[in-house]
Amino acid sequence: MRIISNSWSLRIAVCCLFIMPAVTQAQDLNFNRAWWNAVHETEQTGFVLGFFDCSSAPKMVYGATSDDYIAFVKDYLLKVGGVSKNAVPVALREAHHDMHSRPVLKGGELYKEKHGWLDGEWWGDAQHGNPEEKLGYVEGYLSCEFGTATAHETHQYVNALNRHFAIEANEHDKIANVLQPILEREKTKS
């Protein structure tokens, strides 16, 4: 009899392992200090780039780099505690007011177009490009555009962008210009 009860306990535990990820994927991600400290710097870089590529983001401080923003967010989250769900997006919006412009280093690239270098060449496809940076880009973009994102959504949009940029003719398309219509289609489905 004891073997049967252990067997059922094992089946329930295994079942829960398969059900739990589906439940947690539907929950909103918390872009707070714990999340920021848990992700790799390449995901943080992608987050900053995606956040500021969103149409409702403040303009980036002239001459500031993603590294400057990463350092600002780290300091800001330490100063304010960073436990609120959207502490990182709040920090990035605050950076716009607290950071100061500086000249672009000699030889640095200047982009006059809205989305700069953030195109299919930067993104790559499923085999090329940095997966953490891509994930961070989508997380940052969604957090700026909608104030929220789920793990399922972010992976879904990363995959859609990978498929788009797998076509060589699309390599000069701007990421935000590809992502925005996908988001609009998803919004109308809901």
Quick one: which H or E segment has residue 28?
A: none
Q: How far apart are CA 33 and CA 103, in angstroms?
A: 30
Statement: the pTM of the whole predicted model exceeds 0.75: yes
Count of structural domains, the chain: 1
Separation CA 86–CA 134 (nearest Å)? 20
Structural domain contains residue 5: no
For the stretch 141-179, pLDDT in tens is 999 999 889 999 999 999 999 999 999 999 999 999 999
Amino acid at residue number 15 = C
Is 133 inside any structural domain? yes
**What pLDDT is attached to residue 61?**
79
Listed in sequence order, the residues at least 6 apart from 4 whose beta carbon sits closer than 8 Å to its beta carbon are none
What is the span of the domain harbouring residue 52? 29-104+114-189
